[in-house]
Amino acid sequence: MGHEFNLNQIGFYQLENLILQRVPFKLILFAEKSELINLFQHLNPYYLNFLDGQIETFNYENEFEKKLNDGLFNKEQPMVIVCPDGKISESIIFHLEKLNFINYYWIPKGLKDLRTDKM
C-alpha cells in the first residue's frame, strides 16, 4: 500500500476521543462487537451506548465491499475500519480510496494495536 494511507492511521486514544466527543462516524468492524466494546469498558455507559450505535459488523470483506459498490455508504461520512490484525482494514482502505471516499481511518494492526495502545 502507498504511504498516503499513513495519514489515515489512528490508534486507541484517537478512537477514544471520537467516542468522548460523540463525533458521528461509522465504525466498520470485522470482529466480534464485544471485543471492541470491552476495550472501552472504562468509559461511562453513555459513551459505550454511543459507541455501540456507531458499529456495523461484517464477517467477510466482500460483504462490506458489496455494500460499498451498491452505494450504501456516504463518501463523506467519517468511517473507522477495524479488524483483528489490520490486514482486512488495509485492503478495505485501498478499495475506499479507489471509490473516492475521503474521510476514512484505520487501525494499522487492528484490535491487537488497540489493546497494546491502551496499556
Cα separation of 96 and 91, whole Å?
9
Q: How do the domains of the chain map onto residue ranges? A: 3-118
Can you list the alpha helix ranges (DSSP code H) found in the chain? 12-20, 33-39, 45-54, 61-69, 87-98, 110-118
Cα separation of 41 and 43, whole Å?
5
The tens-digit pLDDT sequence of the chain (119 residues) is: 444 556 799 999 999 999 999 999 999 999 999 999 999 999 999 999 999 999 999 999 899 989 988 888 999 999 999 999 999 999 999 889 989 999 999 999 999 888 887 76
Domain 3-118 sits in which CATH superfamily?
A: Rhodanese-like domain (3.40.250.10)
Q: CA 64: distance to chain centroid?
A: 12
